[in-house]
Structure 1
Amino acid sequence: MAVDGSATWPAREHGELTAGEREILRVLGRSQDLDSVGDEILVSIGAAIIEGRLQPGDDLNSVELARRFHSSRTPVREALAVLEREGLVEIVARKRPRVRRLGIEEVRDIYELRGELYGLVSRRIVEHCTDTQLEELAAVQARLEEAAAAGDLDRYFWHNVEFRNTEARLAANDIVRGVLDSVGIRTLQLRHLSLSLPGRLDTSLADHRRLMQAYADREAELAAALTRSIVRRGLAAVERSGWTGFPD
């Protein structure tokens, strides 16, 4: 895939960030304003990887990227170095940087960790959150319902990410939240893939409805079990997709 193709780099309307770009900046603790061309390169490449417009193994030609973003190669190299630290890009000596291939065993290990941590998050939400705080999650759930009704996969996906981020914030455990952020960004592409498979959006929506009911009923163990099940369903979908970390 050519890294400077129009399908890979959609036009940003009125300078607005996409949901994927905002999420990358949030995880990195950076301003939501693009303060430099380096930040623009960083979020553009990162979002393209997450949303599947750049595939595992695709070359990231720094010369072509510099031309595309009207910059020197220095900010390109700096952006790619950040994405390497976040597990999205692979940089090997004497070879072009490329989109990192995440092997299935590593995927399984990360999903296992996410399932246990989000189970803890769900338990803490039931035990500590007020009704007003639960209304924040209900508002995100309403946005999930609207996106599903419209059949808008990308919008549903990013509201799904928003739901999990809201849960992690409401759980009020900064260590758990930091670990989830550190492993979460490298699985976003896989989470997007899993939701794109036939029937998955409807299943995901039904799962979230049950989880919201468990929160409303203050059923801590049920909520934790449902959350772990949701994560396991996502992993199972990735496995059914035939994901190997390598292109077909």
Structure 2
Amino acid sequence: MLRTILRAGRSESSLVDRIAEDIAVQIIDGTLPPGADVNSVELAKRYSSSRTPVREALLTLQREGLVDIPARRRPRVARVTLAQAREMYEVRASLHGLVSELVVRSADDESLKVLYEWHERLRSAAAGGDVDAYFWHNVAFRQAEADVAGNHQLARMLTSLGLRTLQLRHVSLSLPGRLDRSVSDHERLLQAYSDRDVDLAVAITKSIIMAGLRAIESSHWAD
């Protein structure tokens, strides 16, 4: 599902995919907040379709943990507890730490150049205060890191964490002061990659991710 959203807009997407993508993005960016109703009748009208593809799209989002579908009640955006957020961030920190270790050990200068290019996009979005652009560039930066690391099983594990982590990451980056801090942290990470410093790169990556968790904790969003 994550890869589907990253390639959103391609003509080969089915109607079910497009509906799921649109709803997922609205949940991720906060347009549909936790607990909000998801009206399948209105969605069917919007997409000029029957309710069947809408139902299939909502079932997909339920499997990803973004939507709850209670019996005999309207579907709604799933809520996230702080305990769930902490568990997801602990797993993310460990897996991305391994990504950083592999990047240092295996990436050549040309591969690192790709990461530097994404960092420039991050810097530009932060300078313009564009949270949404920064967020999606950040998602792409992490995906590029996983590609550079070259471990396909690890990349699959990261993808399997699903869309719920994107929702939390958007919340974190939306908080005051987070974009400038994130740009600076990623610059330090890239320098550690260039210096081939495994321990420092892993430590910075874990620090970046756990700083996001602390931002969520302080915001009380998960409450």
Q: Give your verdict on TM over 0.5.
A: yes
Are 1:33 and 2:26 matched, yes or no?
A: no
If the length of structure 1 is used for normalisation, what is the TM-score?
A: 0.85
Matches within 5 A, 1:20-99: 23=2, 25=4, 32-99=10-77
Alignment of 1:112 onto 2:87: no
Distance 1:177 1:31, change over 3 A: farther
Q: Paired residue for 2:131?
A: 153
| 8 Å CA contact 1:26, 1:32 repeated in 2 | no
Structure 2 counterpart of 1:103: 81
- Check the 8 A contact 2:172/2:178 in 1, yes or no: yes
SS of residue matched to 1:213:
helix
Asked if the contact 2:2/2:159 (under 8 Å) is kept, the reply is no
Mapped to 2, the partners of 1:146 and 1:67 lie a distance apart of 38
Matches within 5 A, 1:152-171: 152-171=130-149
> CA 1:35/1:197 → structure 2, altered by over 3 Å: closer, same or farther?
closer
Q: Per the alignment, do residues 116 and 153 of structure 1 end up closer, same or farther by CA in structure 2, a change over 3 Å counting?
A: same
The alignment's TM-score, normalised by the length of structure 2, stands at 0.95
- Structure 2 residue matching 1:179: 3-state secondary structure: helix
Deviation digits for residues 162-189 of structure 1, max 9, x if unmatched? 1101001111111211111111421111
Given that residues 57 and 100 in structure 1 are in contact (C-alpha distance below 8 angstroms), is that contact kept between their aligned partners in structure 2?
A: yes
Deviation, structure 1 residue 74:
0.2
For residues 24 and 59 of structure 1, what CA distance do their matches in structure 2 show?
Answer: 26
Q: Any unmatched runs of 5+ in structure 1?
A: 1-21
How big is the shift at 1:23? 4.7
Does the 8 Å contact 1:24/1:46 carry over to 2?
A: no
Q: Distance in 2 between matches of 1:156 and 1:77?
A: 32
Shift of 1:57: 0.7
Greater relative contact order, per chain length (Cα 8 Å cut-off, separation 6+):
2
| 1:244 shift after superposition | 2.5
Structure 2 residue runs without a partner (length 5+): none
Runs of 4+ in structure 1 displaced over 3 angstroms?
Answer: 29-32
Q: Percent identity?
A: 52
Looking at structure 2, the residues matched to 124 and 152 of structure 1 have their Cα atoms a distance apart, in angstroms, of 31
Q: Contact 1:24–1:43 at 8 Å: present in 2 too?
A: no
**Does residue 130 of structure 1 match 2:108?**
yes
